[in-house]
Chain A
Amino acid sequence: MFYLISALYLGWSLGANDAANIFGTAVSSKMVRFITAAILASLFVILGAILEGRAGIETIGRLSAMDLGTAGISSLAAAIAVTIMTILKLPVSTSQAVVGSILGVGIMQKQAALTGLGKIIVCWIGTPIGGCIFSIILYLILARAINRFRPSWAAFDFIMRAGLIITGCYGAYALGANNVANVTAVFYGAGLLSIETAALIGGVSIALGILTFSKGVMKTVGRGIVRLDAYSALIVVLSNAITVHIYAVIGVPVSSSQAVVGAVVGIVLLKRAEALKKRAILGVLSGWIATPFIAALVSVFIYFVTHLTYVG
């Protein structure tokens, strides 16, 4: 069970960080109380992990044949990489950290399964692009519907508020389904856990992160999104949820933060293309490159250190 601690830490930090992408807007603007959002997000994360986490767990589990020790190393390396990136205030993707650390360990063991890597990289590139495309399409379709029915001010506000809660729940479900593999898939690969147990433990650890430590991040990150009007914020959350959910079905864990950035870029392109900030694009690119690279280096280092032998 000792090996699982690093995985639980990873799940906890994932929950603490990524819940902001889902309920940040609603909580930071005080439309929903933090406790309500945290309970809803936790429930739906666990539900998503249990009902639809299988595909991702299988994909990551197959990346490298590991024993319990190396699974623990890769999990710890991913957690350290996420922490380093967070301290450096760089955009971080837990999914990419996990894949990078697995590959680092795989390289040291000379048994990295690179065949599945192509699919994963294509999905990483597709995440912000998917978020962007969905946000443009959804924005136009829903705007047409709203402009057709012309709800009164009060009805419009109700639709926005309810919409943010419902899409938040859906986003949490998709996050659980997609990202649970990051937390416990290596232990499924190492034979320590069954898929069902891996999904449950992973889901619960993410939920604990949301319940115990996501408040601050929600309030900070949420303010970044809430600068959009309520309708745009709703579209961003929904696009993020759909994108992440699709990759959960395909079975590739992706970054919900990158899906959100993609969705925001979509809205900006629709409204004011000149306001598109290069920094947002560079943030996604640096996340793509730096996260798996740092995670792989950390796992290589830990693997190296733990396999040093004294030659007297």
Chain B
Amino acid sequence: MKLFDFFLRKQRLIEKDVFDYLSQWKKCLEDFKTGMEVYLNEGLGERFDYYVRQVSKTEDRADELRRKVEWEMYSKALIPESRGDILGFLETMDKIPNKAESLLNQIKLQRLEFPKELNPNLRRIVTLSCEAIQLVYEAATNLMSRRGGIHKLADEIGVKETQCDHAEQDTIERIFTMDIDKAEKILLKEFIIELGNLTDRAEDVSDRLTLLSVKRRV
């Protein structure tokens, strides 16, 4: 087995970096979730700003790791079709933390303040998005370690996406029945649409992972 490991060292190195990327990716989205909870419970402030910075840091670190994996791919450690597959999947994955970072920045820069009665709606969308993202993480690690079960996870992500779409529409409907300024309504609506995009992206990754798992089945 030691001999096998010796020959496998280049491939193991890439595998380790991909898993490092995935854990950084997960950490970034956990920080996003906590940041959103802080915002919903306490509103804008020091603690929320801390999480905005935290998400930005972990997103940068994830980007660095992704670039490292891309660089290592060219050391020809993996077979060519794997290189393309992994690079494509990491690029699609990367769109989720990017979106999370941009959402928190949007709240901070636009000083967004949701009316208190919208909190349950917002909380539901955030919860559904984070659950879908957690499922994406599981599917990605399953793909890399060939544990299977990706189709089942993809189905669950699909369900979360549909539920999130409904929650998004309910929320937008509620915003436009509220007695607030029209410009504010538009700002809030835009944010809700952007927030809903998180599960759309999770579904994109899940589609890609499903395709890869079928492609790599012998």
Contacts and interface: CB of A to CB of B under 8 A. Distances in A.
Check if A and B associate.
yes
A152 interface: yes
Interface stretch (B6-14, B42-50, B54-62, B90-98): B6-14
Nearest to A151: B146
Interface stretch (B73-81, B104-112, B125-133, B171-179): B73-81
Contacts of A161: 79
Contacts of B67: none
Contact of A154 (B15, B147, B148, B215): B15
Given A152-B144, A152-B146, A29 B15 contact: no
B143 interface: yes
A225 to B, nearest CB: 13
A31 B12 contact: no
Contacts of A30: 76, 80
Interface residues of A, number: 22
Contacts, number: 54
Interface stretch (A111-119, A127-135, A142-150, A303-311): A142-150
B145 interface: yes
B182 interface: no
Contacts of B217: 147
B79 A157 contact: yes
A230 B81 contact: yes
B15 A152 contact: yes
A229 B14 CA distance: 21
B15 A147 contact: no
A162 B7 contact: yes
Contact of B218 (A29, A146, A152, A158): A146
A154 B144 CA distance: 8
Interface in B10-64: 11-12, 14-15
A156 B8 CA distance: 10
B68 interface: no
B82 interface: yes
Given A157-B82, A230-B81, A152 B76 contact: no
- Scoring A151, A155, A156, A157 by chain B CB atoms within 10 A of each residue's CB, the highest score goes to A157
A229 B144 contact: no
A147 B217 CA distance: 8
B7 A158 contact: yes
Nearest to A145: B218
A2 interface: no
B49 to A, nearest CB: 39
Contact of A230 (B8, B11, B79): B79
Contacts of A147: 217-218
B216 interface: yes
Given A158-B8, A229-B215, A150 B146 contact: yes
Contacts of A157: 11, 77-79, 82
B146 A156 contact: yes
B216 A156 contact: yes
A158 B13 CA distance: 12
A229 B8 CA distance: 21
A152 B4 CA distance: 13
B169 to A, nearest CB: 39
A281 to B, nearest CB: 25
B81 A158 contact: no
Interface in B108-164: 143-148
A124 B82 CA distance: 37
A154 B11 contact: yes
Interface in A153-196: 153-158, 160-162
A260 B8 CA distance: 29
A293 interface: no
- Scoring A147, A158, A162 by chain B CB atoms within 10 A of each residue's CB, the highest score goes to A158
Contact of B8 (A29, A154, A160): A154
Contact of B146 (A31, A142, A153): A153
A301 interface: no
Contact of A158 (B11, B146, B148, B216): B11
27 contacts: A29-B80, A30-B76, A31-B76, A142-B218, A143-B218, A146-B218, A150-B146, A150-B148, A151-B146, A152-B15, A152-B144, A152-B146, A153-B86, A153-B144, A153-B145, A153-B216, A154-B12, A154-B14, A154-B15, A155-B11, A157-B78, A157-B82, A229-B81, A229-B215, A230-B79, A230-B81, A231-B218
Interface of B: 7-8, 11-12, 14-15, 76-82, 86, 143-148, 215-218
Q: Lowest 3 CB-CB distances: which A-B pairs, in order?
A: A154-B11, A154-B15, A143-B218
